[in-house]
Copies of this chain bind each other. A is one copy, B any other.
Amino acid sequence: MKKFGAEHEGDKTMSIRRILVVDDDPDMRQMMTQFLRQNGTIALPAASESEVRSQLEGGRIDLILLDVMLGDENGLEICRKLRQEQDVPIIMVSALSADHQRMEGYSVGADDYIAKPFNPELLLARVKAVLTRTRRSASLVHRRNTKIFVFSGWRYDAKADQIFSPTGVQVALSRRETTLLQVLLANPHIPLKREEIAVALDVTGETSQSSDALGRAIDVLVGRLRIKIEVNPKDPQFLKTERGVGYVFAVDVEAKEA
């Protein structure tokens, strides 16, 4: 009788967003992703159209920050193509004010655009505005086309919600474990803070309201998942610890269709 609802997909889950930062300048990417992550979102870097596409295949993306200048690729064109194929929210980023006119005239279909260099707060405001406006899939749980994830011999069928080991043995995961795995699979190589994971799983660490908050629930959960999917839980190969940060899924994940 402790569970008082309000923990499926309240406004909390809303706040965890997966943003694809597309820029060919490494420094710029770094700066933007870091800033976005500090503000409670999951930011994924991409440098080219092909990277964008593989990210879109691989996991849920809530918003794309797309630079107009992408080396020899054309951001505007990419934007238009993406928009025709699926309706991911897109914010264009450009250094030239001339681009703005082109964007408005051209029907590239961006949700917003912002001039570089920009005030970080402004960026955040725009991002929030677009995300709020286009509040689509809120739950971090894939709602994408992706049906099957493959990593290092393992196979996770998101649709049937079944996971098989490299030897073909089905492994039983609890609900929490499954959700955790989904979060990890959606963010390979990206260190996730405990808090991020907690938000995604909608765990609030019970009495956690003030300072330190957030008990060891995540740690325990990670441990339990490790026991099930790691050959040697003591020396994890996939679900690695990022000391002082959180956890990373340190393996390439291939996302297939059904």
Contact = CB atoms under 8 A, between A and B. Distances in A.
Interface of A: 1-11, 87, 135-141, 143, 158-163, 170, 172-175, 178-179
Given A3-B172, A5-B173, 4 more contacts: A6-B160, A8-B175, A10-B141, A136-B140
A178 B5 contact: yes
Given A10-B179, A136-B137, A5 B161 contact: yes
Counting chain B CB atoms within 10 Å of each CB, which of A4, A135, A172 scores highest? A4
Main secondary structure of the interface of A (DSSP, over half): loop
Contacts of A87: 136
Nearest to A161: B5
Contact of A137 (B6, B139, B141): B139
Contacts of A175: 8-9
A6 B174 CA distance: 10
Given A8-B161, A161-B6, A1 B172 contact: yes
A154 to B, nearest CB: 14
B170 A10 contact: no
A162 to B, nearest CB: 5
A13 B10 CA distance: 13
Contacts of A1: 172
A6 B171 CA distance: 12
A163 B3 CA distance: 12
A172 B5 contact: yes
With most chain B CB atoms within 10 A of its CB, the pick from A3, A5, A7 is A5
A87 B158 CA distance: 26
